[in-house]
Amino acid sequence: MTSTQTRASATPQLAFPPGFVWGSATAAYQIEGAATEDGRGPSIWDTFSHTPGRIVDGTTGDHACDHYHRLDEDLDLIADLGLGAYRFSIAWPRIVPSGSGAANPAGLDFYRRLVDGLLERGVTPVATLYHWDLPQPLQDAGGWTNRETAHHFAEYAHIVGTALGDRVPMWTTLNEPWCSAFLGHASGVHAPGVTDNEAALTAAHHLLLAHGLGTAALRSALPGEASVAITLNLAVVRAASDSAADRDAARHVDGLANRLFLDPVLSGRYPADLLDDLRHITDWSFVRTGDESIINAPIDQLGVNYYSPTLVAAPTDELRARVAGGWVNDPQAAEGPTPYPGTDLALSIPQAGPYTAMNWRVEAPSLTELLLRVHRDHPDLPLMITENGAAFDDVVAADGAVDDLDRLDYLRDHVAAVHAAIEQGVDVRGYFVWSLLDNFEWAWGLSKRFGIVHVDFATGRRTLKRSAHWYREVVADNGW
């Protein structure tokens, strides 16, 4: 076996369309470190990670991968992998430390250096404006439950678009607003750690409003040819059985995970069934006349993040008791409220393996299924896989090598699943591995490794894992 063969090496050759974008992705709080340097203000993730008990291994993003100080080294790494594009996020608290008002020139300079460094190396920069690091002063004023936050986001988007618009061709407003809304405000396992279903639904709406207002603000600052997108973590939601109750549970969860975001962004209206499901939680009065049209601002493509399918059932007393007794794949989910408001209608239940180190089921064909579904519902919409990848418990050999065959197989099978969707007519323009580097995996801290590049968090040393060597060949060959 050569260094880049996989256990699935019998897979037939796959050629991707010319111009297919191969990249990798990261996010500011997860890699940058330098949390208090050059005028950066605190974000909700600084507050949350410094709160005892919030992060499984007690770590914070204060240093993470120290990317802020190792920028040139990481840029060389990106170039060495031959990536066509690199997706990074911009830390709002570096640009506007108090959340609103004047920009911090040192913060803009950092991203100028990053973008210029990519361009010099022939790599296309893909910028995400919001990957969860809300400036703490905005949280102190209500965060995403306060409508004003959406307007502040648009001001920030305009600042960044004006500063970097001449050199960044692809933009994403929000990364995974489902997580910000529901992990942040319903289950509370993410910052700001709120557990209030009405707050979660309010936050979801204001995040979507921020996307709409931010898209308009960006477009007013960007050259006409720049592409603007939103990235959603879409779900393949399956009913645990064919019973009417389980199918209804799956409808409800599909509404919260997918349609609550897809429908207003792409069609300008919230899904009626979901509005009805949740009237016992909220009267939706925070949705004002005209908001859905703002959210429906035209986008050039949709970013899709995908990891694993979801299985749901209507709760029975027996099921509730089993879940309360810890019968879940995700230990975090066992301990607190669910991220799905209205789960008197549905429960997320364990699935058969194989699993990643996150206990997420590995099932690559579900990505094809998801892409076909989005294409069926929105046939003219170009798609980009803005994240896909897996955490595994990597072993570093005595010579420093990381032979991460599980990750390599996961990536290979999911890239093949993207190819299968393209063959069936889905317009998928690119694929970004999550993640370039092992990094700060939110509530899991530094304990879960998603990188194709190993990071020794004590020394900062970067080592290409076997999956990175494999990916470099895939990028060079536009497939295999």
Task: Lay out the site mask for ligand IFM across 260-299 (x = CB under 6 A, - = otherwise).
Answer: ----------------------------------------
- Among positions 13-32, residues that touch ligand IFM (CB under 6 A) are 27, 30
Q: How far is the CB of 266 from ligand IFM (least distance, A)?
A: 21
387 is catalytic: yes
Q: How far is the CB of 270 from ligand IFM (least distance, A)?
A: 24
CA angle 367–389–23, rounded 5-degree value = 95
* 3-class DSSP assignment, residue 368: helix
Q: 451 and 465 in contact (C-beta within 8 Å)?
A: yes
Looking at the Cβ atoms of 27 and 422, the one nearer to ligand IFM is: 27
Contact call for residue 387 and ligand IFM (CB under 6 A): yes
176 is catalytic: yes
Q: How far is the CB of 467 from ligand IFM (least distance, A)?
A: 15
Among 182, 340, 410, 434, binds ligand IFM (CB under 6 A): 434
Q: What is the size of the binding site for ligand IFM (CB under 6 A)?
A: 8
Q: How far is the CB of 24 from ligand IFM (least distance, A)?
A: 12
- Among positions 27-66, residues that touch ligand IFM (CB under 6 A) are 27, 30
Contact call for residue 441 and ligand IFM (CB under 6 A): yes
CA distances 358 to 44, 257, 353, 392, 404, Å, are 23, 19, 12, 8, 15
- Among positions 166-185, residues that touch ligand IFM (CB under 6 A) are 176
Q: How far is the CB of 447 from ligand IFM (least distance, A)?
A: 12
Q: How far is the CB of 246 from ligand IFM (least distance, A)?
A: 27
Contact call for residue 306 and ligand IFM (CB under 6 A): no
CA distances 186 to 158, 193, 329, Å, are 30, 8, 19
Residues 313, 71: Cα–Cα separation, whole Å: 46
Among 215, 305, 310, 386, binds ligand IFM (CB under 6 A): 305
Out of 32, 176, 292, 363, the active site residue is 176
Out of 32, 292, 387, 441, the active site residue is 387
Q: Is 168 left (phi over 0), alpha (psi -120 to 50) or beta?
A: beta
- Kindly write down the DSSP assignment for every residue of 92-161, as one continuous string: HHHHSTTSSSS--HHHHHHHHHHHHHHHHTT-EEEEEEESS--BHHHHHTTGGGSTHHHHHHHHHHHHHH
Q: Compute the chain's Rg from CA coordinates.
A: 21
Looking at the Cβ atoms of 262 and 313, the one nearer to ligand IFM is: 262
For 73-109, b where at least 16 C-beta lie within 10 A, e where not — what string? Answer: ebbebbbebebbbbbbbbbbbbbbbebbeebbeebbe
Task: Lay out the site mask for ligand IFM across 347-386 (x = CB under 6 A, - = otherwise).
Answer: ----------------------------------------
Q: Record the tokens describing residue 72, joined without a space.
A: 């040139």
CA distances 444 to 58, 187, 255, 358, 447, Å, are 9, 15, 27, 9, 6
Q: How far is the CB of 287 from ligand IFM (least distance, A)?
A: 26
* 3-class DSSP assignment, residue 321: helix
| Pairing status of strand 124-130 against strand 227-233 | unpaired
Q: Which residue is nearest to ligand IFM (CB)?
A: 27
Helices 260-267 + 197-221 axis angle, to 10: 30
Task: Lay out the site mask for ligand IFM across 391-430 (x = CB under 6 A, - = otherwise).
Answer: ----------------------------------------
| Pairing status of strand 85-89 against strand 21-25 | parallel
- Note the residues at the interface with ligand IFM (CB under 6 A): 27, 30, 176, 305, 387, 434, 441, 450
Q: Which residues are catalytic?
A: 176, 387
